[in-house]
Amino acid sequence: MNIHPSLILRTPKFSVNATLAPNWIQLKEAIKISSSSFYETIKDINAADLDSLPQKIQFTIWKYFNRAKFRPTPYGTFAGFSFLDKNSDKSDGKILVRKELVLHEFIDWPVKNTIRQNEEELFDRNNKLFTNSSFYLTPQSIRYIACTNGQFELAEIDQNEVVLQILNACLKPKKFNDLAGDIEHDGLGVEEIFSLVNDMIALQLLFSDRHPNIIGEDYFERIDLQSEPETPKYILAERKVIAGNLDTSILVALPKLIELLQQLTSKNEKTAFKNFINRFIAKFDQREVMLNVALDPELGVGYDDLEHGEASDDFVNYFANLAAIEAKPSPLDFVRKAIKSKLLAGEFEVGKTLFLEKISQPSDIAVTQLPNTINLMMCVVDDFVCIEQLGGSTANSLSGRFTIANDAIYNFTKQIAEVEANANPNVLFFDVGYMVESEVDNINRRKQIYDYQVAILNFDTSNDPLSMSDMMLSVRNGEVILRSKKYKKRLIPKLSSAYNYSRSDLSVFRLFCDLQHQGVQSNLLLKLEHLFPDLNYYPRFQYKNLILSMARWKIVQEALFEAIGKNNDLDLCRLYLKNRGIVEYFKTGNGDQTLCFNLNDDLDLKYFIQYMQKQKSCFLEEVKLPTSPLIADLDGNAYNGQFVLALTHDKQIYNGIYDGEDLASTPIKRFFAPGEEWVYFEVFCHQQRSDSLLATSINSYLVEYGNLIKSWFFIRYNEQGDHIRLRILLHNPEDGQKLIGALSNLLKDELIVGIVSDVVVKTYRREIERYGNDLMEDVEQHFAIDSAYVLSLIQTATSINDKYKLCAKLAIKLKDEPSLFENEEFNKIILANSNAFNTEHKLDASTFKKLNATYQVYKTEDNPVLDEEEQLMFDNFYASLVAVLKKCKEAKRAKLFGDLMHMHVNRLFNKAQRTHEMVMYYYLLKDLQRIKALSKNLTQK
């Protein structure tokens, strides 16, 4: 990773050594902006009168002042941001800043709620109209997302041709007069269109340019709303840098640390996202469907059950999923074990720093790639770097909010977006415009950073908005693929906002935000409390001079107040904390909502005791203050600064959409309902009974009615119970009812005694996404030849090892087939497939040893001898496999081979098919390696 030369510095309003009285007026002004109600209480108070105020008010003032000295998180005028770039002076390694803050004022976001839409203005001003692109069609209606009083809902209206015309016409903002001119051709007058458009705006199907936008040109400036003195303000405070810059040589150990953390930390995979993938595959397999349909709770699979309000869902799902939860060994387990050996009686030794580089590390760990840009948020204290955040899906997440206040930062974010785009030329990155919480949405306001964006229930000022209705979703190889029909490219979301998206209950927004973390290691933080929860003390944890986490002590209210007595004795409090090992400066709180205390300051201890009165327990965290300040003003006052750096790399991490993704050279029929050309049975029976049924009853049925059957094939399945899926293609669809009745009658006795538990007739849905339109019918015919061949092997009770050998015979013959696979390509395909199944089955040294032992037995056995009919069927099966593979595009041939072999093994074995497939590939790989070694020896001779 490279350190970008530009960075953001955040500093509190006051220096760390500031005192209250001289700064009282400035503090009051800051409080006035951030808390008008409390300001009314203290606005007339002079500094000399502070000590006479009630204790509760004094404590509140102290907390505000503490924040203004120690917390660099931007909030009103309590902290300011600065921008440093490659042109900033680095001469002495110090950063000289101005004491005063420059205030960038914007109209406060909640003011938007006071702006009313005027119907006449729409007509008079010729406003632009923009579609709510969350709309999609059901057979009778138009569904879309709406928001009422901050609550999202799935709304629905009857389908209407003119409404659809308007929606499609306004996917890019369009002036009303232009729209009216287009629609008038259908015989509608301007007044009728005007009325319909207003209805659509009221229903939230349309937005006008009087509606707010959260990304792009400032909304209030765009509608020319003038700010009055009494208008509530949103303020971003900027502190100008006079001279100096960060000396990044202090980060010399960072690349190695990131390399270590990349191995040790777990991927930021949300359970909701993984569940969505599983549910999507179960319903749609490899189909590509509209994004909006995929997230529909009825037509699709929803997301994280956000569409359902029943309180019992999570409770029930918890127990339903317990059986599926399996602890997987991870590199963290190795580190946890190594650290655990250093514990004394289950606790860390107080005051002793734990060094990551002194802990033994696992080797040969497969790592997940890093995003092209990530954030490093840190403080510099003398020669140490305190890391507060490391990761994220984009470095723009922490800097986006400042783009509206500083053009240099805006250009910096554009550079970050350019790094991501240049590294991944086959995808389009897009930002997400989302707003629902007026009180916190100021943090979401930003300029347009990415070339593309999607606006969710708000107006869009970009040149070419992305539409949710244009987005198609599929799952390929366990990965969610989002595709634009318009641009024919893969889409990757990038949220350039620090908004905590877990607060949202909107499915599409949550999916976008989770999707940005797919396939990348976006969380590189390693905290001791995550490895060892529920301890009373955690030491400082660092790698060389990089501090991953400060020392932390758990303080229990009951124990503290027992130690200090009823009079809240300050000296006893100080003694108690010192005996616990607590250092001079410490802080407590949640997230960035912290208070900093000086153990040697009586006033701080007094307020610490007051704070603890409302805490049953809390953690105190060590605070390091510099002995030689890095950041200071012209008067030499030191500031508690926080740096936000962007780390980048230019390796490609996203592939585009797959070759032939559109599938549609020759459209074919996808669904066959009962009574059409295909009849589809599900015959439920015990897996060990399935071979017997196939060889006897089902085979007899196929022979007896063979003159009515054009083709047939079977597969085995265990969804909702073990069963055989029998699919029959008819010469004449009118014979369907006859064949349905015949099979039911034939299996009547098995149903009565329970050998067959059920026979179901269902709609046949072709797997077009897996095989493609052009190959689907060829694959179905191949399945028929495969099924007939396997049925002959079942009838002769072929042994398990003979089945493995027949698979090997097939594959080895295929390897030498001209113009099918390149010289070493086939061996690589078998190796990759074998490794994938080994990983799936979590094979370790002991299981590999057992596999090798069984292979030694396998290879000494004679090859199976097929009779004349079986040999003919084998040859037909092989010829069919070759023909289908040759017809497939070369780029997709390896995958198709794996799919067809998967289905063949499924038919060959009546249970544990994936395990048999693992063994088959393992043996085949060994055979190929043996053949290669023998060939090499013969060549050398």
Band the pLDDT of 52: cuts 50, 70, 90.
Answer: very high
Q: Which of 68-72, 185-189, 227-231, 570-574 has the lowest mean pLDDT?
A: 185-189
- CA-to-CA distance for 13 and 23, rounded, in angstroms? 10
Confidence check: pLDDT of 492 > 60: yes
* Four-CA torsion 453, 455, 461, 463, nearest 10 degrees: 40
Domains of the chain: 1-112+211-245 (no CATH), 118-206 (3.90.930.40), 267-309+394-519 (no CATH), 800-940 (no CATH)
Q: What is the pLDDT of residue 325?
A: 39
Q: In this structure, are residues 506 and 458 in contact, taking their beta carbons and an 8 Å threshold?
A: no
For residue 328, count CB atoms less than 10 angstroms from its CB and return exposed for 0-12, middle for 13-18, buried for 19 or more. Answer: exposed
Q: Compare 821 and 91 and report the one with higher pLDDT.
A: 821
Per-residue model confidence as pLDDT tens digits over 266-310: 777 788 999 999 889 878 877 889 999 999 988 899 998 765 433
pLDDT given at position 932: 84
Q: Specify the 3-state DSSP secondary structure of 209.
A: coil
- Quickly state the pLDDT bin for 434 (edges 50, 70, 90): very high
Q: What's the pLDDT score for residue 184? A: 64
Averaged pLDDT of the chain = 90
Q: What is the rounded average pLDDT of the residues 80-93?
A: 79
Is the pLDDT at 315 greater than 60? The verdict is: no
Of residues 283 and 118, the one with the higher pLDDT is 283
Percent of the chain with pLDDT over 70: 93
3-state SS string for 687-718: HHHHHHHHHHHHHHHHHHCHHHEEEEEEEEEC
Please give the pLDDT value at position 308. Answer: 43
Read out DSSP for 575-643?
A: HHHHHTT--SEEEEEETTEEEEEETT-HHHHHHHHHHHTT-SEEEEEE----SS-SEEETT--B---EE
- Tell me what the mean pLDDT of segment 654-668 comes to: 64
Angle between helix 602-612 and 55-70 (nearest 10): 110
> Who wins on pLDDT, 283 or 407?
407
Whether residue 912 is predicted with pLDDT greater than 90 in this model: the reply is no
* Residue 218 to residue 403: CA distance in whole angstroms: 11
Nearest C-alpha neighbor of 430 from the set 470, 401, 477 = 470
Assess whether pLDDT exceeds 50 at residue 926. yes
**pLDDT at res. 316:** 28
Q: How many residues does the chain have?
A: 941
Q: pLDDT band at 329, cuts 50/70/90?
A: low
pLDDT exceeds cutoff 90 at 747: yes
Residue 257's alpha-carbon distances to 355, 542, 613, 820, in angstroms, are 12, 10, 40, 46
Q: What span, in angstroms and rounded, lies between the C-alpha atoms of 933 and 761? A: 52
pLDDT tens profile 169-203: 999 999 988 888 888 656 778 888 888 999 999 99
Q: Which residues pair with 679 in a beta bridge?
A: 728
pLDDT of residue 360: 77
Q: How many helices (H) and strands (E) does the chain have?
A: 31, 36
Confidence bin at 326 (pLDDT 50/70/90): very low
Q: What is the pLDDT of residue 266?
A: 74
Of 156-160, 172-176, 329-333, 740-744, give the lowest mean pLDDT range. Answer: 329-333
Give 361's pLDDT tier (boundaries 50, 70, 90): confident
CA 716 from chain centre, in angstroms, equals 33
